[in-house]
Amino acid sequence: MKPLRIGLLGIGTVGGGTFDVLTRNAEEISRRAGRPLSVVRVAARNEAKARKVVPASIPLVTDFRAVVRDPEVDVVVELMGGYEPAKALILDAIEHGKHVVTANKALLAVHGNEIFSAARAKGVIVAFEAAVAGGIPIIKALREGLVANRIEWIAGIINGTTNFILSEMRSKGLAFADVLKQAQAKGYAEADPTFDIEGVDAGHKISILAALAFGIPLSFDKAHIEGITKIEAIDIRYAEEMGYRIKLLGIARRRAAGIELRVHPTLIPARRLIANVEGVMNAVLVKGDAVGATLYYGAGAGAQPTASAVIADLVDVARLIDADVNHRVPYLAFQPDRIGSEPVLPIDEVESSYYLRLRVDDRPGVLADITRVLADNMISIDAMLQKEPAEGEAQTDIILLTHETIEGRIRRAIAAIEAQPSTRGKIVLLRLENLA
Ligand code: NDP
Ligand code: HSE
């Protein structure tokens, strides 16, 4: 059978990995796809660098537009990253009737609604397995394997860089900046690592998962996002003393009033499998009403794991290229005319449990004043830890874990407790999820 002809845009970490795996496993992949997968054009801005990976037999150009318009190309694989020129090139490829495979979660989370709509009008595939959780086939699971279920919630460790940083900080006591440098050297971090450490990359990914799970449009602009830069070693330690690990989680949950869409550092019970996902590994927990909880685990970043997902998409394209357009799986799992309009809830309306660390005067009545404020706001305490004041100090740390409550109540309670004269400085708030 005629090969699937691939035009590759960008040949960095993932592009190089894709090239390696396609070459190494060519025979096995073609037996699965029913035709060979053949890279026929590569676009790179630095030819000399790209030639180290691309053999002389494959044309290498610096004109990216020439590749997306080339009649010899069936599918364009965008592995450049960023918003532009990636968006313009993908839209141009679609306009020229090319199928598209991309790992670019930033682009899809922000401009995906427009890209899918253009692709639908042209009847071409846009596949994006590599955009979430690297090598884990979570897109396939949500779009196909779990279609019988009403999805209740998703909670995922979906950024390898931050999981690597938190793991190394906890287990080796290393400093944040040093571990970030290691993650960059290993090719895990985004071109702009603030996307990783500020939770933006995880926000892109959970927005994509939420659209697939709940049949809503991509809603990254409404997600609540916090990163790991404010996490202090002391909170990692106190959490551990109380039986919890801190992970950067992407959470999407269906509530009666709408959808929770949030990324933030989260305490999770240390006994949960997902709490023990360390290093660059990712894991996604999906709770469906029929199947119950399912857990997907694997490498969330890196050249070859991500290539595994890119090539899975290419095989899907190879198998479906001649099929009737109406027989394809919808881009976002739900039929486009059946996308819902549930609102994304503002953070004040989110329900969670909380970890609060307070610095207070160590004298009678202080704890009673704090618990009174919590009771006034209908917040129930689940556990408490009070540390001995250090030698010669008149203040101490109190750590409170609450039962589930509405975030607006916690914020009101924190403001009232911070206003008490016995409270010193700002209260540290972290969310806690039992994931039961
Ligand atoms: P790299 O930076 O390693 O590679 C990007 C490639 O695209 C390089 O060849 C680069 O050229 C080229 N490129 C980037 N911007 C431009 C531009 N404006 N014009 C022309 N060429 C450009 O990135 P990755 O391979 O790590 O990431 C690629 C995509 O995959 C991104 O969308 C990323 O988010 C996603 N992804 C990455 C994962 C990973 O583990 N790294 C995992 C999952 C997804 P040059 O070499 O000259 O800079
Ligand atoms: N920077 C991303 C991460 C790459 O660290 O998870 C994979 O999407």
Residue 85, preceding bond cis, omega within 30 degrees?
yes
Low-confidence stretches of the chain (pLDDT < 50) are none
Q: Is the CB of 13 under 6 A from ligand 2?
A: no
| Nearest bound ligand to the CA of residue 17 | 1
Q: Give 292-295 contacts, CB < 8 A, sequence gap 24+.
A: 294/141, 294/146
- How much distance in Å is there from the Cα of 104 to the middle of ligand 1? 9
Task: Give the three-class secondary structure for 411.
Answer: helix
- How much distance in Å is there from the Cα of 339 to the middle of ligand 1? 31
Q: What's 4-34 look like in SS3?
A: EEEEEECCCHHHHHHHHHHHHCHHHHHHHHC
- How much distance in Å is there from the Cα of 409 to the middle of ligand 1? 43
Catalytically active residues, by annotation: 205
Domain 141-299 part of CATH 3.30.70.890: no
- How much distance in Å is there from the Cα of 201 to the middle of ligand 1? 14
- At 390 the pLDDT is 83
Q: Is the CB of 196 under 6 A from ligand 2?
A: yes
- At 405 the pLDDT is 98
- At 109 the pLDDT is 98
Q: Specify the length of the chain in residues.
A: 436
pTM to 2 decimal places: 0.97
- At 1 the pLDDT is 85
Sheet bearing 37-43, strands edge to edge = 60-61, 37-43, 4-9, 75-78, 99-102, 126-127
Q: Where are the domains of the chain?
A: 4-135+303-338, 141-299, 350-432
Quickly name the fold that domain 350-432 has.
Alpha-Beta Plaits (3.30.70)
Q: Which of ligand 1's atoms lies nearest the C-alpha of 9?
A: 7
Mutate to test the pocket of ligand 1, among 306, 308, 310, 313 (most ligand atoms within 8 A of CB): 306
- Dihedral sign (CA 406, 286, 147, 209): positive
Q: Which of ligand 2's atoms lies nearest the C-alpha of 164?
A: 5
- At 223 the pLDDT is 98
Quickly name the fold that domain 4-135+303-338 has.
Rossmann fold (3.40.50)
